[in-house]
Amino acid sequence: MKEKIREFILSYGADLCGFANIDRFNEAPAGFKPTDILPDCKTVISFALALPKGLSKVSPRFIYGYYNNFSCSKVDEIAFKAAVQIEKNFKRSSVPMPCDSPYEYWDKDNMEGRGLLSMKHTAVQAGLGTLGKNTLFMNKHFGNMITLGAILTTLELESDQFDATVCISNCRKCIDACPVSAINNGTVSQKLCRTNTYGKTERGFDTVDCNICRTVCPMNHATP
């Protein structure tokens, strides 16, 4: 069953797909466990869509920002189609998760938001990769130029093996490159990051003014 599901998720356009049994989420924070969303969830399926690596070579302000956001809609489409297919083929409830927003949790003072489900931690649990020092998810083939998606299902499946870290142990490029020193001790100040990153033009178009912690990572250039 796993390989059939993986096959059709990849056929929908995903570049990676992995599985995490619900027992891997025992340590997830209360309110953010898969079972807080789908009480009888047995498995979380995580998948990734790789962004063109050329986006790491251009200014983030318009083109990168546009297509980074565009990728979220593509990931949500894959999640929806996969959930429908799982229910058709295996007669088990399946819930596609929004890859970014909307979400409820917001700490106004610290400008800290939390998704309904942590996509990056879910991807780690499903064996797709690990987290970098900038807390971004990274994979040995695609670096951190990835958008993540997930599906909750009542179909019980075995977990995939954890992936080995590809973050270079003595590398500090993302930490040292941050213009507002938002990365410290394995955490990121969302307040410092958000206020430096997001803006609008006079016309009202959204802008992304910084993505240096993403683009400076040497793992983005590990493969062509």
pLDDT in tens, 102-144: 999 999 999 999 999 999 999 999 999 999 999 999 999 999 9
Q: Is 171 exposed, middle or buried (0-12, 13-18, 19+ CB in 10 A)?
A: middle
Q: For residue 2, which amino acid is it?
A: K
d(CA 61, CA 25): 36
Range of 11's domain? Answer: 1-224
- State the pLDDT at residue 224: 43
Asked whether 32 and 120 are in contact (CB, 8 A), the reply is no
> How many other C-beta atoms can be found within 10 angstroms of the C-beta atom of residue 164?
9
Mean pLDDT of 82-86: 98
Strand, helix or coil for residue 130: strand
d(CA 86, CA 156): 12
d(CA 51, CA 68): 8
Which of the two residues, 224 and 200, has the higher pLDDT score?
200
Number of domains in the chain: 1
Tokens coding 44: 């979380």
This model's pTM is above 0.75: yes
Mean pLDDT of 186-198: 96
pLDDT in tens, 6-56: 999 999 999 999 999 999 999 999 999 999 999 999 999 999 999 999 999
Which helix (H) or strand (E) covers residue 81, if one does? Answer: helix 65-90
With bands split at pLDDT 50, 70 and 90, how would you rate the model's confidence at 201?
very high
Please determine, for residue 84, whether its predicted confidence score (pLDDT) is greater than 70: yes
